[in-house]
Amino acid sequence: MWNIGKKHSEKSINKMKESKKISWRRNPIQGMTGQTHSEKTKLRMKQTFNPTKIKKGQHIGKKTEFKKGALHPCWKGGKVPFEQIERNKYEMYVWRLAVFQRDNYTCQNCGKRGGTLEAHHIYSFRNYPEYRFLPWNGQTLCKRCHRQVHTKMGKGFYA
């Protein structure tokens, strides 16, 4: 670094102090401080800002009305697909761990050890429910090889 051990001059220090006096933080009523807004914009900002209704992750100054529950276009009556429930079971976690330990956390296709590993069902999860949680029906693959296996099968990824 070119500036290690060097000190700023008094003139530079004063300029930095002056620049820090101006706050460029976001102000929910006025927008960015230091900017001027039209009266119409200021009125709109005052109307949309309500500090009691701000939630974590919500944008200040914008009306954010999300469609939730039955109003959302993807709503399916609160039903969770059976397959999704099966994949989130504790048995699935144990199965993955057993497959990884058996294969010594090494991709069985390219030999890469560690990294982002995925447990692949040799007999598909969907079509062979009786083999779902049996360790011999799994093999450890890295993310890249897992994608290739599913692409070669002609089903698309994770089909």
For residue 99, being part of any structural domain is answered with yes
Greater pLDDT, 99 or 27: 99
What is the tally of structural domains in the chain? 1
Q: Which amino acid is at 152?
A: K
49 in any annotated domain: no
The answer to whether residue 8 is domain-embedded is: no
pLDDT tens column, 25-84: 455 555 555 556 677 777 776 666 555 555 555 555 545 556 777 777 777 787 888 888
In a domain, 121, yes or no: yes
Residue 62 falls within a domain, yes or no? no
What pTM did the predictor assign? Answer: 0.51
Q: How far apart are CA 105 and CA 127, in angstroms?
A: 26
Per-residue pLDDT, averaged over 118-145, amounts to 91
pLDDT tens column, 9-18 = 888 878 877 7
Residue 22 included in any domain: no
Domain containing 126 equals: 85-152
Question: From CA 46, how far away is CA 62, in angstroms rounded?
Answer: 11
Residue 128 lies in a domain: yes
**119 within domain boundaries:** yes
Tokens of 113: 């050890």
In one-letter notation, the amino acid at residue 47 is: Q
Q: pLDDT averaged over the chain?
A: 76
Q: CA-CA distances (angstroms) from residue 67 to 71, 73, 125, 126, 129?
A: 5, 8, 33, 32, 36
